[in-house]
Structure 1
Amino acid sequence: MAEFRKATASDLPAIIAMLADDALGLTREVISDPVDRRYVEAFEAIERDPNQWLAVAVDDEDAVIGCLQLSFIPGLSRLGLWRGQIESVRIASSQRGSGLGGEMIRWAIEQCRARGCGLVQLTSDKRREDALRFYEKLGFEATHEGFKLTF
């Protein structure tokens, strides 16, 4: 069973490696030593924002084996309902199929409940068919169509 904790700056290389560990991620991420400053700046912004939480799953030796980002979003619709947004979910390739992903998402949902969120939402690239099935098995429903505009 993994332990979940807030990510630290020293976790960034492992997190970035997991983000890059698939065909889509390879086209989006930059693995470098030292860590690209853009990741460091993003990490620092996440750390400063009380409505952001970058979490990691670690094994018994404190090796990072999973990660995700939680955003707690206030809203006016639905009577001022807060939403939990789950993003950047990744599991180390050595841990895929172990049940860690489900454990991590259930943990994230509990964090959202504890923060007073009335719903949890997430997005997944339509090309990640395994991920889409995974989220549906966990009870998520594809109730909305999503759009993105990349600059």
Structure 2
Amino acid sequence: MSFINQSCADSWPVDDHSLDVIFTSNFLEHLPDKVAVETTIEQAQRCLKPGGKIICLGPNIKYLPGEYWDFWDHHVPISEHSLAELLELKGFSIQQKHAKFLPYTMSDGNHPNLFLVKLYLKIPLVWKILGKQFLIVATRNSKTQA
């Protein structure tokens, strides 16, 4: 494993079609603008193997319209629909799209109770009540060229 310290919107020093999975959580909204988000998704598409997955979690602007902007470093408003649209435009097929998945915060600086987290994940009805973050799982199309 190696650590790469660079802008995610720059070309990644990763071979084309070399990754199985890319996971991002509470990250894309911190990028400076939509161009940086788009370029990051393009790099993910280039580096994923055909059939590789990208898993994205993040605060949903639809359910946090005021709170979303309480953080100085939130720059890009993102919903499950806007991110799914971008992913499809960049050669991904959406496998799962949940507008409300996780609560906005899972802890107040403490480790969340794992029993309660496991229980929460088994009850999708509760997601619709407490969820404020989206979850998108998408697969890189095999016919898409990097």
TM bucket by the smaller chain? 0.3 to 0.5
Q: Compare the two structures and name the one with the higher helix fraction.
A: 1
Structure-2-length-normalised TM-score: 0.35
Structure-1-length-normalised TM-score: 0.34
Q: Which has the higher contact order (CA 8 A, sep 6+)?
A: 2
